[in-house]
Structure 1
Amino acid sequence: MLILGRREGDSIIIDGGIRIVVVSCDRGGVRIGIEAPSTVKILRGEIAQQVAQENQRAAAPTDASWLATLGAPVAPAATPAAVSAPVAPSADASASTETA
Structure 2
Amino acid sequence: MLVLRRRAGEAILLGPDIEIEVVEISKSRVKLGVRAPRTISVTRRETSAIAAENKQAPALAVAGSGLENIVRLLRNTPSLL
Which structure has the larger Rg? Answer: 1
Runs of 4+ in 1 over 6 A off after TM superposition: none
Gaps of at least 5 residues in structure 1 are 72-100
Structure of greater relative contact order (alpha carbons < 8 Å, 6+ residues apart): 2
* Matched residue, 2:3: 3
Segments of 5+ residues of structure 2 without an aligned counterpart are: 64-68, 73-81
Tell me how far apart the structure 2 counterparts of residues 58 and 17 of structure 1 sit (CA, whole Å): 38
SS in 2 for 1:55: helix
Number of aligned residue pairs: 65
Which position in structure 2 is the counterpart of 1:39?
Answer: 39
Give the TM-score taking structure 1 as reference length. Answer: 0.56
CA RMSD, 1 decimal = 2.2
Verify: 1:48 aligned to 2:48, yes or no. yes
Identity of aligned residues (%): 34
User: Hey, what's the Cα distance between the residues in 2 that align with 1:7 and 1:16?
Assistant: 21
